[in-house]
Structure 1
Amino acid sequence: MAAAKIRKGDQVIVLSGKDKGRTGEVVKAMPRDGKVIVDGINVHARHRKPTQENPQGGIDRSPAPLDISNVAHVTKDGKATRVRFEERDGKKVRVAVKTGEVING
């Protein structure tokens, strides 16, 4: 399996879907499934009936996973970029294709 190009804590931009163009931080990365959860993006609402544990009931909002192919890493100027791996100083690091800057992590 290939190393994950997008990891937890990365700033990403959504490339397609209802949230296209929005940016956020990756809260959870699931590389085996090819999915990521981005804070405040793709939030789904579930209406809950009142129960004994929750007598108020109400609406539970939770972020749903996005496919990793629908997000891209964001550079410092706010534009989307692909990520590649390079070896620098004997270490394998992630590099932004557009700017050539090393992505921490």
Structure 2
Amino acid sequence: MARPKIKFVPNKMHVKTGDTVYVISGKDKGKTGKVLQVFTKKGKVVVEGINVVTKHMKPTPMNPQGGVVTKPAPIFSSKVMLFDEKAGKPTKTGFKFVDGKKVRYSKVSGEVL
């Protein structure tokens, strides 16, 4: 019986689609990008311009030329932090209630996200 490849999957994600994030570890450390997709079951996110891989595509009716295509691949959500545009640095997120609604806020600047 094979073991699962993923050792840890978070219960909830700290980032959402459309957030700007800062990469804190790996080959793209220090870069920022926008979250394109979130995979909650795997605990991964796809970030624009981060972890870009080349894929060799065969010619298909959709892509008759084929060739080498570059696209961003998923990375673990623990490797990214939310980036606060106003403070200009990465931040942790907190939750608070504003007018009876639960909202995310930046721990660095205190601004509602």
TM-score, normalisation: structure 2: 0.79
Unpaired runs of at least 5, structure 2: 1-9
Q: Give the Å deviation of 1:11.
A: 0.4
Report the Cα distance in structure 2 between the residues aligned to 1:43 and 1:64, rounded to whole angstroms: 6
Q: Give the Å deviation of 1:36.
A: 0.6
Question: Are the aligned partners of 1:10 and 1:25 in contact in 2 as well (CA < 8 Å)?
Answer: yes
SS in 2 for 1:37: strand
Deviations 1:77-97 (A, max 9, x none): 320101111112111000111
Equivalent residue, structure 2, for 1:92: 102
Question: Are the aligned partners of 2:45 and 2:75 in contact in 1 as well (CA < 8 Å)?
Answer: yes
RMSD between superposed Cα atoms in Å? 1.9
Seq. identity, %: 45
Do residues 11 (structure 1) and 23 (structure 2) align?
no
Change in Cα spacing, 1:52 to 1:91, as seen in structure 2 (3 Å) is closer
TM-score, normalisation: structure 1: 0.84
Q: Give the Å deviation of 1:47.
A: 2.6
Equivalent residue, structure 1, for 2:46: 37
Query: Counterparts in 2 of 1:1-105, with a 5 A limit?
Result: 3-48=12-57, 51=59, 53=61, 56-76=65-85, 77-103=87-113
Unpaired runs of at least 5, structure 1: none
